[in-house]
Structure 1
Amino acid sequence: MSIDLTGRTAIVTGGGAGIGAAIALTLAEAGADVAVHYANSADGAREVCARIEDMGRRALIFQADLTDPEQADALVDRVVEHFGGLDILVNNAGHLVGRAPLAETTDERWKAIMDVNVSSAFHTTRRALPHLTASSTGRVVTMSSLASENGGGAGSVGYAAAKAAVVGFTRGLAKEIAPTSTTVNAVAPGFIGDTAFHNTFTPGDAQKGIIAGIPLGRAGTPQDVADVTLFLASDLASYVTGQVIDINGGLNFR
Structure 2
Amino acid sequence: MHLIEGLEDLFTYYIKNLYAAEKQIAAAMPAIVEKAQHQSLKNALQHHLTISKKHCSRLQKIIALLNENTSDTAGENEQETNIHESAVSSGIAGLINEANDLLHQDINKTVNDAAIIGCVQKIEHYEICTYGTALAYAMQLHLHKTAELLRETLDEEYDVDDLLTALATAALNKEGIPEGWDVDSIKSSENEEAGSTGVPENAHTGAIITERTILSPGGRAGLSHRRYPSGESRGH
**What's the TM-score, normalizing by structure 2?**
0.27
Higher RCO (CA-CA < 8 Å; seq separation 6+): 2
Bigger Cα Rg: 2
Structure with the higher strand share, 1 or 2: 1
